[in-house]
Amino acid sequence: MLGNSLVDGYFSQARSDGVLVVNGLPKFDLDTYISGYAGRTQIDRLIHISTHSPPLAIEGLKLAIKLLKQTQDVPRFRLALDILRKLSLEDAEAAQDDAWIEKTSRKVASDTERIEADLKSYKHNLIKESIRIGHEDLGNHLYASGDLVGALKCYSRMRDFCTAPKHIVDMSMQAIKVCIEQGNYMTVQSHVVKIRNLTRGPEEEELLRPKLCVAMGLTQLAAGDFRAAARSFLDCPPTLLNTYNEVITANDVATYGGLCALASMERTQLKTEVLDNVEFRNFLELEPRMRKAITFFHTAKYSSCLSILEDSRNDFLLDIHLHRHVNRLFESIRSKGIVQYFIPFSCVTLSSMAQAFATDERTLEKELVVMIGKGALDARIDTKNRLLTAKETNLRAAVHRETLAVAQNYERLARMKLMRMNMIRSGLEVRGSKASTGQVNAGIVHGQNASWAGNSQKVGRNWGEFM
Amino acid sequence: MDKLIDYFLGFPSSPNISESELHKQIQNHLSLLNRTPAATLAYQHAGTDVLALLDPSVNSLAYLYVLVARIDLGQKNAMEVAWRQIVTFLETFNPKQVRCAQDIFKRLVDSFFSFVTESGKPIIAIRPIKKAILRFNPTKFSFLHPLFLRLCLEAKCYRDAAAIVDIDLVEFPCISTGKVTENTRVREITYQDVLTYFLYAGMIYMGIKEWRRAADYLTYAIVAPGNACSQIQIDAYKKYILVGLLLDGKSLPIPRSTTSVANRAYKALSKPYESFAAAFKAGNPELLRTEVTQLVDVFRQDNNTGLAIQCLEAFRRMQIIALRDTYVTLSTEEISKKDLEVTGRGGDIGGKEGTEAVILGMIEREEISASLSHSHPDPEQSQTTVHFHNHPADESCNLAALQVELRRIMTLNKQMKSINKKYGMSREFIQHMVKVAKMSGSSVLAGMAEPDLMDFDYSFGWAEDEPEETIMQDFEDDM
């Protein structure tokens, strides 16, 4: 199956288009992995895996098509079939099911019509509750049949007909789900904030919090704000379990949270906020590899930590939410490791450092140069003696330099403003073809106020008394 | 004529007379001089030269009038004879008298100026005009300022000019005040004069490689107020970008006080410069080289080629200075491999030896604190290593600079106070205050609480001992 030339052709094309292609096999088993999820995200994930991983492509697509047949999502069925056709003709022939497409399309069309008619009649009757439900039904229907834009529109229309806070929460949760699938994280964020601002009972709170935390975390992850994302995921209560499978599993929370924490937190923070976090421990237990990596990082065994992460790299790359950030995450984990490693030293040989990070000196040196250039590492390289030495800082001199700079800057700025003011005062403005005298006067008045910077109020008061 | 000479010599009546008396005498004297026909003044007295009898430092006005009359009436060659006397006059005249005859004085200077430029000897005018400027109040802008800088630029006497531009201007001649007496015929100073002065001053400092001061002067031109943008300002801005590169390695920001019109014009008209600066800042020699090949014509058109070449020379030096932050030791071979040579002159300067020479020069000029060491006595096998020292703890140096800065700011503060007082008493401001008071009724404070235009980064104690009472009295007098 792997020798299939069509598959090779497809992926070399994809690679040249700039799409990431993961050659190695991931650590997970596709069936088990996908069964952890529910709803649309199953198919999304399958298609993502199929388009990025040559060995799993055909299997994934077949599975996706099988699952799609149980839904009414015709556009996606077609999409999956198209990709499959490019990869393997025989399998596509086998999966082709015109009758199903025909039948389902017809059903979707008629259902849409029916629900829209219902909605219209509700609108005639002007009963808010019915209209809301009508919109929701239509939204759900469109969502199920693959029209995400339409679905989101329907959910947004519900807003005007919400009478209780509960309704708003429901609507927002629906919208969040759709938006996460669309990758429209700005809207996700606004909806999360909206729900958080609503007052609600403790039970409801308990039910919603995990989902909100996760949604927020995903938003922050998408924005590349790893620290905030780590916090959101770490805050997530273990009650999440499998309640939000249409978006995320508990395993994912452990992975995302762990990676973001590794990329953004200090070693002590990792200990107190991640490893000793009672709630998050429940998640970490699901992902022992992640826990091991964090423990290794905390105990300063950077090379072991990095090798564990490197082993799981393929898994991360095939994750629908994570794949875009893997490189940046790894990079920041690595450079943070280097910084943390270097803290206790004033001087360290490049060779021992290269050993600790499992690379050769040359690559390490390049990496260090980049990091120093970015200001991430406060050190200098001694290429002759192959050493990395910490910079000595002289605070006193630094303060002096700073003071001098501030003073000079101040003088320069003051002179500039003074010059400008004087020019206005003397009527030396740059003028276009025609000059107006009123301009000059206004200018003087303006410049005048400026010259009173410090004591204008005081003088003003004096004048006031005089009047 | 003899009578006239006696009269000339009889003025002023005595060296020590009161201001008002002197002023009266000057006025009388001037009216006489203005009445006297030029032919009489220019008349060469038999045997004796009038100018030889007059002392330019005492009888300045008469001396001036006679000189101008001679130049006016004389032929082309009049100047050939007169220029020595003009030089003597400019070096010794009495500013109090001459100030009352600005127009004549300007005519003299103008003809002198055109004479020296036409004869291609601007250098002879530099000393006298410099002295003349210093004789008047050098902190006040006069028509001499731009003329003088122009001469200096033409003669390449940047050092001489620096003596003048080092003095910060705090005053401009007021056009709007009614104080101007009968001498209103003097061509008023225009904004072009001021802007060219700033531009020239910037160029003078560029000539002596004082990039900071150059940038300051260019800033003055850039932020000039108004409702239009002058070509001079745009030229200043283009130079400003290049100077910024030489100063800091990146283009300096447009100051915030810049008018929006000018701001837009700068952005629209200096795109090539911006992209050059971006390439420079990125530190990528390849990118910079391609930029330069595209921009050669632009620089030539704007007469900025020299500055641009200096930027390119500075590029390598700055990159080497930047290495100091990353490395303790580095071989020159490594540095030359980075291929930082962008001037495109070819030859050996980009190679190992060239790099070594550049670094040696930088160490000698104290641009960088480092040392070079050879690993082997035989130059063929030797590896030269640069050892970058830590930032030297130049505490005494810093402290001295701080002291100087403190003094400068104190002077500035004094100047600021006097201006503050002067403007506070000006008619316009008082009228404004009255208007504000009327408009807002009782709450004058509301009018005063306008946001300050002078948004310094931190406030400074202007007002320890502000003479408000005096202002109040003056105000009452005024009413």
Decide if A444 is inside a domain: no
Q: Which of A135-144, B104-113, B341-350 has the lowest mean pLDDT?
A: B341-350
Give pLDDT tens digits for A192-202: 888 888 766 77
The answer to whether residues B171 and B137 touch, using CB atoms and an 8 Å cutoff, is: yes
**C-beta atoms of B172 and A457 within 8 A:** no
Select from A376, A394, A413 the last residue of a domain: A413
Is the C-alpha dihedral spanning B235, B240, B241, B242 positive or negative?
positive
Scored b (16 or more CB within 10 A) or e, B36-66 reads beeeebbbeeeeeebbeebebebbbbbbbbb
Has residue B164 been placed in a domain? no
The two tokens of residue A391 are 């910079």
pLDDT of A454 > 70? The answer is no
Q: Do A452 and B420 touch (CB under 8 A)?
A: yes
Average pLDDT over residues B156-179: 73
Instruction: Confirm whether A306 is domain-assigned.
Output: yes
Cβ atoms of A295 and A275 within 8 Å: the answer is yes
Tokens, residue A238 = 């273990």
Distance CA B136, CA B97 (A): 11
Among A425, A431, A444, most B C-beta atoms within 10 A, so best to mutate, is A425
Per-residue pLDDT reduced to its tens digit, A299-334 = 888 888 888 888 888 888 888 888 888 888 888 888
Question: Are A259 and A334 contained in the same domain?
Answer: yes
pLDDT in the model for residue B174: 64
Same domain, A326 and A353: no
Contact B176 A426 (CB under 8 A): yes
Minimum-distance CB partner of A458 among B325, B426, B463? B463
Q: Residue A404 sits in a domain of what CATH number?
A: 1.10.10.10
Shared domain check, B301 and B345: no
Q: Are residues A374 and A317 in the same domain?
A: no
Kindly state whether residue B175 falls inside one of the protein's structural domains.
no
Please tell me whether residues A245 and A351 are part of one structural domain: no
Task: Give the residue from chain B lying closest to A413, CA to CA.
Answer: B456
Residues of A in contact with B463 (CB under 8 A): 454-455, 458
Chain A's closest residue to B257, CA to CA, is A417
B53 and B99 fall within a common domain: yes
Is residue B124's pLDDT more than 60? yes
* Res B447: pLDDT: 43
Contacts of B404 in chain A (CB under 8 A): none
Reply yes or no on whether the pLDDT at A217 is more than 60: yes
The reply to whether B47 and B121 lie within a common domain is yes
Partner-chain contact B452 A450, CB within 8 Å: yes
Binned at pLDDT 50, 70 and 90, residue A450 comes out as very low
Rounded alpha-carbon distances, angstroms, from residue A143 to A43, A134, A181, B261: 14, 14, 11, 52
Interface probe for A, chosen from B423, B459, B465 (most Cβ of A below 10 Å), is: B423
Q: For residue A389, give the chain B residue with the closest CA.
A: B328
B402 contacts A404? CB cut-off 8 A: yes
Confidence of residue B456 (pLDDT cuts 50, 70, 90): very low
Evaluated on CA atoms A312, A318, A322, A328, the torsion sign reads: positive
Residues B64, B34 share a domain: yes
Domain residue limits at B94: 2-135
Judge residue B253's burial from the number of C-beta atoms within 10 Å of its C-beta, 0-12 exposed, 13-18 middle, 19 or more buried: exposed
Q: Are residues B11 and B65 in the same domain?
A: yes
Task: Write down which residue in A72, A96, A120 finishes a domain.
Answer: A96
pLDDT of residue B395: 74
Are residues A287 and A391 located together in one domain of the fold?
no
| Dist CA A248 CA A211 (whole Å) | 9
Among A387, A423, A455, the residue with its CB nearest the CB of B466 is: A455
Check whether residue A364 and residue A336 sit in a common domain: no
| Residue B150 belongs to some domain of the structure | no
More confident residue, B22 or A101: A101
Q: Do A423 and B191 touch (CB under 8 A)?
A: yes
Residue of A nearest to B447 (CA): A460
Minimum distance, in Å, between the CA of residue B288 and any CA atom of chain A: 19
> Cβ of A453 and B452 within 8 Å?
yes
Residue in chain B nearest A412 by alpha carbon: B216
Q: Which of B309, B318, B315, B320 is nearest to B355 (CA)?
A: B320
**Per-residue model confidence (pLDDT) at position B240:** 92
The reply to whether residue B452 touches residue A464, judged by beta carbons under 8 angstroms, is no
Question: Which residue of B222, B428, B442, B479 is the best one to mutate when testing the A interface, meaning the one whose CB has the most A CBs within 10 A?
Answer: B428
Boundary of a domain, candidates A413, A436, A460: A413
The predicted pLDDT at position A160 comes to 81
Residues B328-381 pLDDT 10s: 888 877 777 777 666 665 555 556 777 788 888 888 887 787 888 877 777 666
Would you place residue A445 in the very low, low, confident or very high pLDDT band (cuts 50, 70, 90)?
Answer: very low
Query: pLDDT digit string (tens) for B231-270?
Result: 888 999 999 999 998 888 888 888 888 888 888 888 888 8
Strands A379-382 and A347-349, bridge-based pairing: unpaired
Q: Is residue A25 part of a domain?
A: yes
Contact A396 B395 (CB under 8 A): yes
Of A443, A453, A460, the CB nearest to B445: A460
Contact B468 A459 (CB under 8 A): yes
Least Cα separation, residue A383 to chain B (angstroms): 5
Whether residues B394 and A455 touch (CB distance < 8 A) is answered with no
Q: Compare B16 and A414 and report the one with higher pLDDT.
A: A414
More confident residue, A248 or B442: A248
Residue B445 and residue A461: Cβ atoms within 8 Å? yes
Q: How far apart, in whole angstroms, are the C-alpha atoms of residue A381 and residue B328?
A: 5
- Extract the runs of DSSP E, i.e. beta strands, from A148-303: none
Which residue in the set A407, A441, A463 is minimally distant from B437, CB to CB? A463
Residue type, B369: S
- Which of B172, B229, B466 lies closest to A422 in CB terms? B172
Cβ-nearest to A418 among B391, B416, B428 = B416
pLDDT, tens digit (0-9, with 9 covering 90-100), for A33-51: 888 888 888 888 888 888 8
Please count the other Cβ atoms lying within 10 Å of the Cβ belonging to residue A317.
Answer: 20
- Mean pLDDT score of chain B: 76
Residue B457 predicted with pLDDT over 50? no
> Which residue of B232, B329, B459 to mutate against A (max A Cβ within 10 Å)?
B329
Q: Report if pTM > 0.80.
A: no
Chain A residues whose CB is inside 8 A of the B173 CB are 426
Q: Count, in order, helices (H) and strands (E) of chain B.
A: 24, 3
Task: Using the predicted structure, report yes or no on whether residue A434 has a pLDDT greater than 70.
Answer: no
For the stretch B191-210, pLDDT in tens is 888 889 999 999 999 988 88
- Residue A12 amino acid letter: S
Comparing C-alpha atoms, which of A419, A49, A137 is closest to residue B195?
A: A419
Last residue within a domain, chosen from B392, B422, B448: B392
B-chain residues within 8 Å CB-CB of A389?
A: 328
The letter for the amino acid at B43 is Y
Contact present, B66 and B41 (Cβ < 8 Å): yes
- Would you call B224 and A429 a contact, using CB atoms and an 8 Å cutoff? yes
A256 in any annotated domain = yes
Round the average pLDDT of chain A to a whole number and report it.
Answer: 80
Q: Is residue A147 part of a domain?
A: no
**Do B27 and B45 belong together in one domain?**
yes
The answer to the question of residue A203 being in a domain is no
The domain containing residue A391 runs over which residues? 345-413
> In the prediction, which pLDDT does B200 show?
92
Residues of B in contact with A416 (CB under 8 A): 216, 219-220, 223, 255, 257
Is B145 within the bounds of a domain? Answer: no
Closest chain B CA to residue A371: B326
Task: Read off the pLDDT of each residue in A172-178 and give the average, rounded to a whole number.
Answer: 87
Rounded Cα distance between B193 and B196, Å, is 5
Mutate to test the interface with A, among B331, B407, B444, B465 (most CBs of A within 10 A): B444
Nearest to B170 among A418, A449, A466 (CB): A418
Q: Which residues of B touch A387 (CB under 8 A)?
A: 328
pLDDT band at B420 (very low <50, low <70, confident <90, very high): confident
Residue A448 lies in a domain: no
Q: Which residue of A has its CA nearest to B329?
A: A382
If asked whether residues B296 and B385 sit together in one domain, one would say no
Using CA atoms, how far residue A94 sits from A80, A90, A186, in Å, is 13, 6, 41
| Predicted pLDDT of residue B14 | 64
Q: Is residue B418 part of a domain?
A: yes
In-domain check, residue B378:
yes
Share of chain A above pLDDT 70, in %: 91
pLDDT tens-digit profile of B177-189?
433 443 444 457 7
Which residues of chain A have a CB within 8 Å of the CB of B227?
A: 429-432, 439
- B46 pLDDT more than 60: no
- Report the residue of chain B nearest A435, measured CA to CA: B227
CA-nearest residue to A416 within chain B is: B220
Please check whether residues A245 and A304 belong to one and the same domain. Answer: yes
Q: Are residues B319 and B331 in the same domain?
A: no
| A283 and A227 both lie in a single domain | yes
Where does a domain end: B135, B152, B181?
B135
Number of domain units in chain A? 3
**Is the pLDDT assigned to residue B78 strictly greater than 60?**
yes
Same domain (yes/no): A279, A338: yes
Instruction: Please state, in angstroms and rounded to a whole number, the distance separating the CA atoms of residues A327 and A323.
Output: 8
Structural domain includes residue B165: no
Contact criterion met (CB < 8 Å) for A426 and B398: no
- What is the number of structural domains in chain B? 4
CB contact under 8 A, A448 and B189: no
- Within 8 A of A408 by CB-CB distance, chain B residues are 405
Partners of residue B220 in chain A, C-beta under 8 Å:
416, 419-420
Q: Does B170 contact A422 at a Cβ distance shorter than 8 Å?
A: yes
On chain B, the residues whose CB falls within 8 A of the CB of A386 are none
Considering only CB atoms, which chain B residues are within 8 Å of A412? 216, 219
User: Residues near A428 by Cβ (< 8 Å), separated by ≥ 6?
Assistant: B172, B175, B189, B190, B191, B194, B224
Domain identity same for B339 and B315: no
Chain A and chain B share a number of CB contacts under 8 A equal to: 235
* Residues on chain A touching B432 (C-beta within 8 angstroms): 445, 448
Q: Are residues B239 and B359 in the same domain?
A: no
Say whether both A3 and A72 belong to one domain: yes
d(CA A66, CA A200) in angstroms, rounded, equals 41
CB atoms closer than 10 angstroms to residue B411: 13
In a domain? residue B440 = yes
Tell if the CB–CB gap between A416 and B189 is shorter than 8 Å. Answer: no
